[in-house]
Structures are given as C-alpha cells and as structure tokens.
Amino acid sequence: MLRGLYAAAAGMDLQQVVLNVTSNNLANATTPGFKQDRVVATSFPEVLLWHLEREPVRAVGAWSYNAAVAATVTDFTPGPLRETGHATDLALLGDGYFTVETPQGTRYTRHGSFRIDGEGYLVTVHGDRVLGEDGPLRVEDPDFTVAGDGTIRRQGVTVGRLALARFADPGVLQKEGDYFTAPAGAAGPAPETEVLQGYLEGANVALADRMVDLMAALRSYAAAARLAQVHDELLGRATTQLGVVR
C-alpha cells in the first residue's frame, strides 16, 4: 500500500509540472516571439534502471514507482508572422535572434515589438536597448527603414546594422522572461536570417493542442489524487480495524 502512495504521489508531481508548463504556454499564446515549453517524462522502468545503476542498495520505499520528469525543453520552431505596418515592429526569418543590452548583460530574443525611448534609442518593451554591430542603435524617430540584412537607414543615411545572433545548438539557450541567456562564446553571426520590418512573429503555441494537453493533465492529476485517497483509506482500515482483537 505504501508503494501505491508513492506511485500516486509521483504521478501527481509529474502532472503538476505538466499543468504549470502548459498553463504558461497558454498564458503567452499572444506574446510575440514566445517559444513554448514541453515536458519530457521518463517511464517507471527507466527510473528504476537509473536508480539501480547508481544506487543499487536503497531502503524499501525510497524509489519513485512511476513516471518522472526528465526535463523541460523549449520548442524553438518559428511562430506565424503577422503584419502590423509599424516601423518599430521587426520579425526574423531564419534561426537568428535580436541581441539586447540589459543590466544583467547581453540577452537574446525573438520578441521584435520595439519602441523608441526618450533618447532616440531602439528599445524592447522592457526598455532595454537593442544592439547593433557597433553598439545600441539610435534611430531618433520611427522614420527609418530596415533592410533584409538588418541595415537601418534614416533619411538615406545608414544608422547601423542589427547585431543578429545564431546558435549552432539552440539547447544552450535558457529562458529568462522574454529573453534568452547563453554561455559566453555560444553566439555566432546569422547571415542567413532575414529581417522583416512591419511584421511580428507570433508565439508557436497551438491553442487547441495545448488545451487538450491541459485537460488530459487535469484528468490524470485527479486520477492520481483519487488513487492516493484510496490507499490512504486502506491504510486507515489496516491500522484501525485489522489490528483490533475481538
């Protein structure tokens, strides 16, 4: 019966993670450039083998008798493009990323809904300056054009060129709000990435699929909770009824 409780608890833990990740995906379904996350689970045999290989001697009841979370991975597939007509909205065709200067250091994003701050610099919705190849880009006002290679011109004069970054292994990227962080030296140039002005990349979240995932996780969580309740009731009977001398 104790093993049944462990199995139910492990199932609830797994489904709670799925619920949290799926809910976050749905909450960001309208966030430009958002990349959804997915939960990767391991089966009970894989969990058991992992423990046996590393810790062959363990107390009874110390194992997780169910599936477990192996990892939460980010899906980097591009989202759909939406035309806005705003000069400060930029989208990327390809696997590149905008480079941003933040108080915490250099960050990367596909969220191309930019603004112009009081000093004329191109900034993100958080007020962080967008970087060009020679530093922060100062465009003065929305009267500027962006070429496909990221070159920005204002009144026929070149202002700068967007510093676009590419990662040979996107797995090195770690989410930090609307941004991604990467180890030093992991970013390289993105010559094949094209910049589109007046467009935004949408989130790569399929609402119908994620709603199905959410309902499935809710039902699985409820089933595991019910299983835990049943085992708790059986333990109660074992301790209060089976041990009674009549």
pLDDT tens readout for residues 215-227: 999 998 888 888 7
How confident is the model at residue 60, as a pLDDT? 45
3-state SS class at 87: coil
- Say yes or no to pLDDT of 133 above 90: yes
Domains of the chain: total: 2
Contact 152, 124 (CB under 8 A): no
- The H or E element containing residue 19 is helix 2-27
- Say yes or no to pLDDT of 6 above 50: yes
**Residues 27-82: pLDDT tens digits?**
999 999 999 999 988 765 555 555 555 555 454 444 455 677 878 899 999 999 99
235: phi then psi, degrees, rounded to nearest 5:
-65, -40
Q: What is the mean pLDDT of residues 112-126?
A: 96
Specify burial of residue 190 (Cβ count, 10 A radius: 0-12, 13-18, 19+): buried
Residue 96 shares a structural domain with residue 133? yes
How confident is the model at residue 65, as a pLDDT? 55
Residue 90 shares a structural domain with residue 195? yes
Q: Tell me 113's DSSP state.
A: B
Residue 13 shares a structural domain with residue 66? yes
Percent of the chain with pLDDT over 90: 65
The position carrying tokens 């400060």 is: 88
Average pLDDT over the chain, rounded to an integer = 87
Residue 91 shares a structural domain with residue 191? yes
Residue 183 shares a structural domain with residue 216? no
pTM metric for this prediction: 0.80
How confident is the model at residue 153, as a pLDDT? 96
Q: What is the mean pLDDT of residues 154-163?
A: 94
Which domain, by its residues, includes 116? Answer: 81-201
Q: Report the relative pairing of strands 129-132 and 135-136 from DSSP bridges.
A: antiparallel
Residue 175 shares a structural domain with residue 227? no
Residue 88 shares a structural domain with residue 128? yes
d(CA 11, CA 8): 5
- Say yes or no to pLDDT of 154 above 70: yes
How confident is the model at residue 45, as a pLDDT? 56
- Say yes or no to pLDDT of 95 above 80: yes
